[in-house]
Each structure stands twice: as C-alpha cells, then as structure tokens.
Amino acid sequence: MEYSSILKHARIFEQLSATQMAEALTLLHPVKKSFAKGDVLIWDGRKVDHCFLLLEGTCAANKLYADGRTSLILKFVPSYIIGADISATKTRISTYYVTALQDCVVYEFPYDRLAKRGILPEDIRLLMMDSLLALIAGENIRKMNKIEIISRTGLRDRVLTFLSMQCSFYQSKEFDIPFSREEMAEYLCVNRSKLSHELSLMQQEGLITYHRNHFKVLTAQLYFHAE
C-alpha cells in the first residue's frame, strides 16, 4: 500500500488492524492531492467539510491579523489529520489559515464519511471517532497552552513558560522543539532577532543550552515548575 508507513502511524487509524485500516480507506474514498509550498489548504472564514491526511511535507495553522502580523498556532507533520476540528463544529467555519510550509501530498476525504453512520462498519467508525476525539482534545490543549504563553507580558517569561511546557510534555530536561527559530518567534508572538538575543542571554546565564531546535534546561527550578 502506498504511504503504508505513514498511514499506520496516523492517529485516526491507531486502534485499527491493518485489515480494518485498508477497509476504512477504501470506504472513505480519499482523493490524493498535491500542494506547492505556500499554497493554502484551509482559508480563514471559509467553510470546511473535509479532512486532510498529511502524507508528505509539513503544514502550519496560522492566524493572520489586519496589520500583517501572523501567529503560528499549530505545525503539522506527516500522518496528521488536518481540518477535523473545524469540520466537527456546527458552523464548520475556519478561524485560521492552513498553509503548506513545503510541497505537500495529502489524502482528502469528506468529514461526514467518517462521522455519519452507514458508510463505515460501525465498529471501525467508533474506533476512528474515538481516536479523532483524542486528537482534537490534544489540539485544544496545545491551543490553550499557547494562550497561556502569550498572556505573559515579558519576552523571557514567554520563553520560560514555553520551555516549561516542553519539559512537562517530554518529561525530560532535554528535547527537540518542532519549530525553526523563525517559527518559534511566530509561535511566541515575538520578534525573531529579540528572541535569538534572549536565548543567547539565557544560555550565557546558565539557564539553558541549545543548538538549532535542540534544547536542554539547566535550571531545576524551571524544570520542576513544569511538573
């Protein structure tokens, strides 16, 4: 099966056997689509009634403001389902953009083929909906985490809050964040050059060490605060 290694790691199929996954894919009738870097998969303010299963490349959910600023909400990697959180709402109107950060390949299928009875065998549908609910709940937690981060007024406080959350998530003082430096600045809603300067100061002060997207927290106070 094409993209079998990606599909078997998709959260939506995590509770299915290989046979059940193949049956579900057949009945969902996904359409394979390609997007070039910079293409928009989902538009802010528009109706979304389908899901994208990301097979290749990376995408990002962003909020665009009237003054031209953008705020990174989520970053998507292969095996991730995009758009389910919007399609599951009553209005199905998106409140953010999803754009391709690289050339991407996706499987697209209508959300109702999964959500409504009669298309998939009920045992398979219920397992997939259970996995999808857990996925959406996780997304909501990450969105709430971002709200907590940007509620902090100072740059260092935002960085420390973000790193504390990473410590808590990975249960480790050492981890890789899923963002480039520019993406990290966009996620924290701060200036990139100021963020780089602050990280350098924090490293000089012995609070952290880092190289690209790999971080190690050196202060116990920060780590235990995350726990």
Domain ranges of the chain: 4-142, 152-226
> Tokens 């219920």 identify what position?
126
Encode the chain (227 residues) as per-residue pLDDT tens digits.
Answer: 578 889 989 999 999 999 999 999 999 999 999 999 999 999 999 999 999 999 999 999 999 887 778 899 999 999 999 999 999 999 999 999 999 999 999 999 999 999 999 999 999 999 999 999 999 999 999 999 999 999 998 999 999 999 999 998 888 999 999 999 999 999 999 999 999 999 999 999 999 999 999 999 997 656 544 44
The fold for domain 4-142 equals Jelly Rolls (2.60.120)
Per DSSP, helices labelled H in the chain are: 4-7, 18-28, 84-87, 111-115, 122-150, 155-170, 181-188, 192-204, 220-226
Give the residue among 38, 43, 164 at the shortest CA–CA distance from 104: 38
Strands across the sheet containing 174-176: 174-176, 214-217, 208-211
The fold for domain 152-226 equals Arc Repressor Mutant, subunit A (1.10.10)
pTM of the model: 0.87
Q: Which DSSP letter does residue 224 get?
A: H
Relative to beta strand 81-82, strand 50-56 is antiparallel
Instruction: Report the pLDDT value the prediction gives residue 223, as an integer from 0 to 100.
Output: 52
